[in-house]
């Protein structure tokens, strides 16, 4: 489940260099030459992160970032600004409009990948390549494997994404609609009850480990992943 990164850069040579290094690091990439083309891509599906050049034709990167941050649908997309501007005031301006990081040109590809990794770990843990492990339950995004005490658990692709998200956001309650947006994507239109079906399948896959009860139903609210000891509660782990 590699992260998809949108590169908004008008210089072809720089785009190609970034695409190559992203592929080497295991990320998917998609490119746009200007803000208008980038917005068309975002309209189809939200990327996990945007690499945004400051000096773009038609609309500057800084103005495009402002547009993204004002829009409810796009305001949480992580943004890393790419620019030849090195003045402190420029860096501050980029961060103040909501950029999550700032990389100056020319940059080292290794540094850029490290910055991307850091932002994704901080803002969208489920999109990074970091292993997630909780009390013996281990999810490895690089190998796309889930194990419990070194015994492999067979999961379908949707159950895998669902477990990855929930293990990366423990103890928080998410409604069905929130899970649809975060796991399926806000561009996919399926019924909310679809979540219930995949929760049921995920619990069944975990049943032999004894950890199916970690996926809890919170009545009237949604679902929560909790590895804490479960005592008497108003929640029903089996209720859909």
Q: Report the C-alpha gap between 66 and 46 in whole angstroms.
A: 17
Best-predicted range by mean pLDDT (68-72, 137-141, 178-182): 137-141
- Find out whether 8 and 67 touch, Cβ atoms under 8 Å: no
Of 20, 14, 23, 3, nearest in space to 55 by CA: 14
On whether the CB atoms of residues 94 and 105 are closer than 8 A, the answer is no
pLDDT given for residue 133 in this prediction = 93
Per-residue model confidence (pLDDT) at position 231 = 41
**CB neighbours of 32 closer than 8 A, spacing ≥ 6?**
6, 7, 8, 38, 40, 41
| CB neighbour list of residue 194: distance below 8 Å, 6 or more residues apart | 180, 184
- pLDDT computed for residue 233 by the predictor: 37
pLDDT interval class at 235 (50, 70, 90): very low
Q: What is the pLDDT of residue 35?
A: 95
pTM above 0.75, yes or no: no
Of 49, 113, 111, nearest to 76 (Cα)? Answer: 49
pLDDT tens per residue, range 5-62: 999 999 999 999 999 999 999 899 999 999 999 999 999 888 989 999 988 988 999 9
The pLDDT tens digits for 168-222 are 889 989 999 888 878 877 655 667 888 999 999 999 999 999 999 999 999 999 9
Per-residue pLDDT tens digits for 88-125: 666 677 677 778 888 888 889 999 999 898 888 776 66
What is the band of 238 on the pLDDT scale with cuts at 50, 70, 90? very low
Helices 61-70 and 35-44, axial angle in degrees (round to 10): 30
Q: What is the pLDDT of residue 88?
A: 65
CB atoms within 10 A of CB 130: 16
Q: How far is CA 173 from CA 15, 214, 216, 221, in A?
A: 39, 12, 9, 7
């Amino acid at each position: 489940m590699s992260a998809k990164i949108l590169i908004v850069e008008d210089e072809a040579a720089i785009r190609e260099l970034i695409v190559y290094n992203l592929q080497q690091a295991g990320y998917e990439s998609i490119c746009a030459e200007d803000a208008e083309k980038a917005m068309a891509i975002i309209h189809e599906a939200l990327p996990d992160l945007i690499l945004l050049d400051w000096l773009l034709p038609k609309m500057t990167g800084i103005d495009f970032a402002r547009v993204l941050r004002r829009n409810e649908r796009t305001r949480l997309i992580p943004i890393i600004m790419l620019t030849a501007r090195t003045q402190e005031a420029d860096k501050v301006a980029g961060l103040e409009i909501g950029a999550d990081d700032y990389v100056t040109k020319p940059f080292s590809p290794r540094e850029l990948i490290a910055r991307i990794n850091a932002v994704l770990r901080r803002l969208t843990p489920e999109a990074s390549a970091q292993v997630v492990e909780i009390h013996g339950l281990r999810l490895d995004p690089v190998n796309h494997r889930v194990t419990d005490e070194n015994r492999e658990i067979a999961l379908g692709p949707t159950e895998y994404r669902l477990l990855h998200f929930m293990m990366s956001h423990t103890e928080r309650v998410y409604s069905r609609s929130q899970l649809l947006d975060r796991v399926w994507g806000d561009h996919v239109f399926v019924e909310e009850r679809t979540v219930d079906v995949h929760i049921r399948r995920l619990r069944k896959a975990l049943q032999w480990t004894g950890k199916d009860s970690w996926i809890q139903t919170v009545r009237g609210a949604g679902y929560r992943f909790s590895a804490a000891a479960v005592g008497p509660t108003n929640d029903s782990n089996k209720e859909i």
